[in-house]
Amino acid sequence: MIRQAPKAENLISIQISKVLFLILKTPNEGLATVRCTKVVRNVNLEKLRHNYLFPEIEARELEHLNKYPDANIIRLGIGDTTEPIPDIITSNMAEYARGLSTRKGYKGYGAEQGNKDLRKAIAESFYKDLGVKDAEVFVSDGAQCDISRLQLLLGSSVSVAVQDPNFPAYMDTSVIIGQAGDFLDDTLKYKNIEYMTCGPQNNFFPDLSTTSRTDIIFFCSPNNPTGHAASREQLTQLVDFARKNGSIIVYDSAYSVYITDDSPRSIYEIPGSRECAIEISSFSKIAGFTGVRLGWTVVPDELYYANKVPVINDFDRIVCTCFNGASRIVQAGGLACLSPDGFKAVMAVVDYYMENAKILVDTFTSLGLVVYGGVNAPYVWVHFPGSRSWDMFSEILKKTHIITVPGSGFGPGGEGFIRVTAFGRREHILEASARLTSVHLL
């Protein structure tokens, strides 16, 4: 979307934000007189090597606006939806909210695992004929929150593998909970994490013959950031690998509704996956719920720990201990999304974003660049051979006033790429295309 340049009176607040960011970024400088407690900082938080990717991008955007105060910024960086939520869904949430002001309609705490009707609707809508039971579906306030709850479930002693590049939440939560070990400056990797390279050279799927055995495998398909949807053959290899090694796959299917070919939309389409996989997903990109917050996790009752205890029992305890359940109002919206008319409405918005993706793919291709993604996911993964990601981020921003995301922010495997999101209003996507084709980027 286009972000207007700030008015003069707002420049002071921008500068204050920038100063606060720099103070937080360098906490040991200029703070000698601060009175401290005797509480030692969590050593794992000290191992986080960088600020979280997207706040870092926002800080650089502020710097750019300070230098170019008249610029109209087009933000194609963070994967935030821009189109309004269909009325059939918001009307259902509004009606439920109004009911809370009546004796008959008021309800307090709900089941921590979620509304029974919504759990059933999720199972039937996304896992029909795949054997997923209502009781295996845990409704939440979003997939990213569930990643953290799963890390709490798994604990600090498990070994972890991630795709490289990968969505930062997998890595950062692994660091915070104590799974990652020390950061190695020579490799730009954490010592105890198994990095599974997923790039064009291997069709965005790891070479499992050279991948070390780990307890947990984080895997996202369609992938954020590359946009690649794993094939049935690839996911079959992954499930066979996990079963052979006694590993658990944490499978992120948040972008499954964007798949346009016959790639699997769920890990449970693969035989044997119920014995080795947990699946997380979200309404954020399906229905524009990025600020509304609603997701779910599926934990099959066939998934067991080494001591034969069902994993679902422990996850239920985690949910009941750490979560009071998703908002009843939001869950009413989720039910509306999965009604026949509601699902048709949200899929029309999905199609809109995928048309945006095609425009972006065609634009970068016309510039002579090799482009991936944009077919089964709302992300376009653009290769700039021989260039560093942050350099290309800066060059694009300087020449076009367009915000992207440097690929290296998703791990060392993303170096040389940028990610561009198709979430945006059509007029802004077309304007971005015009700006990009009017400059020389290479």
Per-residue model confidence as pLDDT tens digits over 183-220: 999 999 999 999 999 999 999 999 999 999 999 999 99
| CA proximity to 296, closest of 140, 119, 118 | 140
- List every span in the chain annotated with CATH 3.40.640.10: 87-340
Check residue 23 and give its pLDDT. 47
Please report which helix (H) or strand (E) contains residue 374, including its range. none
Mean of per-residue pLDDT scores for the chain: 93
Residue with tokens 């809508």: 125
Rounded to a whole number, what is the distance in angstroms from the first to the last CA of the chain? 25
Q: How many residues does the chain have?
A: 442
Rounded distance between C-alpha atoms, residue 168 and residue 187, angstroms:
17
pLDDT exceeds 50 at position 311? yes
Phi–psi pair at 188, nearest 5 degrees: 60, 35
pLDDT exceeds 70 at position 18? no
Strands (E), 113-213: 137-140, 160-164, 183-184, 189-190, 193-197
pLDDT exceeds 80 at position 173? yes
- List every span in the chain annotated with CATH 3.90.1150.10: 2-83+344-437
pLDDT exceeds 90 at position 5? no
Q: Taking residues 322-339, what's their average pLDDT? A: 98
**Do 165 and 389 touch, CB atoms closer than 8 A?**
no
Lowest mean pLDDT among 47-51, 85-89, 333-337: 47-51
* Joined tokens for residue 348: 């029309």
Q: Evaluate the CA torsion angle 111, 114, 118, 123 in order and state its sign.
A: negative
pLDDT band at 1 (very low <50, low <70, confident <90, very high): low
Amino acid at 246: G
The alpha-carbon radius of gyration of the chain (Å, integer) is 22
DSSP string, 225-272: TT-PPPPHHHHHHHHHHHHHHT-EEEEE-TTGGG--SSS-SSGGGSTT
Q: Taking residues 80-106, what's their average pLDDT? A: 98
| Cβ atoms within 10 Å of 101's Cβ, excluding its own | 8
| CA proximity to 251, closest of 388, 83, 132 | 132
26/440: higher pLDDT: 440
pTM of the model: 0.91
Please tell me the CATH superfamily of domain 2-83+344-437, with its number: Aspartate Aminotransferase, domain 1 (3.90.1150.10)
pLDDT exceeds 60 at position 406? yes
| Cβ atoms within 10 Å of 67's Cβ, excluding its own | 9
Residue 392, classed as helix, strand or coil, is: helix
pLDDT exceeds 60 at position 58? yes
Q: Taking residues 252-256, what's their average pLDDT? A: 98
Distant-in-sequence, close-in-space partners of 144: CB < 8 Å, separation ≥ 6: 169
Residue 97, classed as helix, strand or coil, is: helix
Lowest mean pLDDT among 46-55, 105-114, 317-326, 361-370: 46-55
Q: Is 46 exposed, middle or buried (0-12, 13-18, 19+ CB in 10 A)?
A: exposed
| CA proximity to 383, closest of 422, 420, 432, 330 | 420
Q: What is the DSSP letter of 8?
A: G
Check residue 51 and give its pLDDT. 64
Q: Taking residues 144-158, what's their average pLDDT? A: 97
Residue 213, classed as helix, strand or coil, is: coil
Taking only the tens place, the pLDDT of each residue in 20-45 is: 445 445 555 555 688 999 999 999 99
| CA proximity to 378, closest of 401, 352, 397 | 352
pLDDT exceeds 70 at position 400? yes
pLDDT exceeds 90 at position 76? yes
CATH architecture assigned to 87-340:
3-Layer(aba) Sandwich (3.40)
Q: Which residues of 231-269 are buried (b: 16+ CB within 10 A; e: fewer)?
A: beebbbbbbebbbebebbbbbbbbbbbbbeeebbbbbbb
